[in-house]
Amino acid sequence: MPSTDRKRTRIQAENEDRIVSTSLDVFSKYGYRGSTVDQIATAAGMSKANVLYYFKSKNDIYLAVLEETLKDWLNPLTDLNAEGDALLEIQRYIQAKLKLSRTSPAASRLFANEILQGAPMIGPYLKTELKALVDGKVAILEKWMKQGEIKTFEPIHLLFLIWSTTQHYADFAIQISALDSSPKSKLHKDAEKFLDIVLLEGLKGPQYSGVIGQ
Amino acid sequence: MPSTDRKRTRIQAENEDRIVSTSLDVFSKYGYRGSTVDQIATAAGMSKANVLYYFKSKNDIYLAVLEETLKDWLNPLTDLNAEGDALLEIQRYIQAKLKLSRTSPAASRLFANEILQGAPMIGPYLKTELKALVDGKVAILEKWMKQGEIKTFEPIHLLFLIWSTTQHYADFAIQISALDSSPKSKLHKDAEKFLDIVLLEGLKGPQYSGVIGQ
DNA sequence: TCGTATTTTGACCATATGGTCAACAATTTG
DNA sequence: CAAATTGTTGACCATATGGTCAAAATACGA
β partners of residue A150:
A204
Query: DSSP alpha helices (H): ranges in B35-130?
Result: 37-44, 48-54, 58-78, 86-103, 105-116, 123-125
Nearest to A31 among B33, B158, B200 (CB): B33
CB B40 within 8 A of CB B23: yes
- Chain B CB contacts of A26 under 8 Å are none
Q: CB of A2 under 7 A from strand C?
A: yes
User: pLDDT at position B213, please?
Assistant: 37
| pLDDT band (50, 70, 90) for residue A201 | confident
**pLDDT tens-place string over residues B13-70:** 999 999 999 999 999 999 999 999 999 999 999 999 999 999 999 999 999 999 999 9
Estimate in Å the CA B54 to C1' C28 gap, whole number.
19
Nearest to A179 among B30, B130, B204 (CB): B130
CB B98 within 8 A of CB B169: yes
Average pLDDT, chain A: 92
- Chain B CB contacts of A200 under 8 Å are 202
Measured N-to-C along each axis, helices A86-103 and A58-78 cross at an angle, to the nearest 10 degrees, of: 150
Q: How many contacts, defined by CB atoms under 8 Å, are there between A and B?
A: 185
Please indicate whether, in this complex, the C-beta atoms of B157 and A200 are within 8 angstroms of each other: no
Q: Does A204 touch chain B (CB under 8 A)?
A: yes
User: pLDDT at position B210, please?
Assistant: 39
Task: Return the closest nucleotide (C1') to the Cα of B61.
Answer: C18
**pLDDT tens-place string over residues B73-96:** 889 999 999 999 999 999 999 999
Please indicate whether, in this complex, the C-beta atoms of A157 and B191 are within 8 angstroms of each other: yes
| Alpha-carbon gap, residue B214 to B212, rounded angstroms | 5
**pLDDT tens-place string over residues A104-154:** 999 999 999 999 999 999 999 999 999 999 999 999 999 999 999 999 999
User: pLDDT at position A202, please?
Assistant: 85
Instruction: Provide the CB-side half-sphere exposure for A85 (13 A, CA).
Output: 8
**pLDDT tens-place string over residues A75-98:** 999 999 999 999 999 999 999 999
| Alpha-carbon gap, residue B46 to B41, rounded angstroms | 5
Task: Return the closest nucleotide (C1') to the Cα of A48.
Answer: C9
Please indicate whether, in this complex, the C-beta atoms of A126 and B194 are within 8 angstroms of each other: no
Q: Tell which wins on pLDDT, B179 or A213.
A: B179
Chain C footprint bases within 7 A of protein beta carbons: 5-11, 16-22, 27-28
Query: Which residue spans within A30-99 are E strands per DSSP?
Result: none
Task: Return the closest nucleotide (C1') to the Cα of B11.
Answer: D7
pLDDT at A214 over 50: no
User: pLDDT at position A213, please?
Assistant: 37
Please indicate whether, in this complex, the C-beta atoms of A168 and B164 are within 8 angstroms of each other: yes
Estimate in Å the CA B2 to C1' D1 gap, whole number.
26
Chain D footprint bases within 7 A of protein beta carbons: 5-11, 16-22, 27-28
- Chain B CB contacts of A195 under 8 Å are 157, 161
| pLDDT band (50, 70, 90) for residue B2 | low
Pick among B194, B196, B200, B203 to test the A interface (most A CBs inside 10 A): B194
Query: Could you say which residues 109-168 of protein chain A have a Cβ atom less than 7 A away from any atom in strand C?
Result: none
| Alpha-carbon gap, residue A194 to B199, rounded angstroms | 11
User: pLDDT at position B1, please?
Assistant: 56
User: pLDDT at position B11, please?
Assistant: 85
Query: If contacts are CB pairs under 8 Å, which of residues 156-195 in chain B contact chain A?
Result: 156-158, 160-161, 163-165, 167-169, 171-172, 174-176, 178-180, 190-191, 193-195
Residue of A nearest to B211 (CA): A212
Please indicate whether, in this complex, the C-beta atoms of A123 and B178 are within 8 angstroms of each other: yes
* Identity of residue A57: S
Nearest to B197 among A151, A165, A194 (CB): A151
Q: Does A85 touch chain B (CB under 8 A)?
A: no
Residues in chain B, overall count? 214
The backbone region for A45, taken as left when phi is positive above 0, alpha when psi lies in -120 to 50, beta otherwise, is left
**Beta-carbon contacts of residue B70 (< 8 Å; ≥ 6 apart):** B122, B125
| Alpha-carbon gap, residue A76 to A19, rounded angstroms | 26
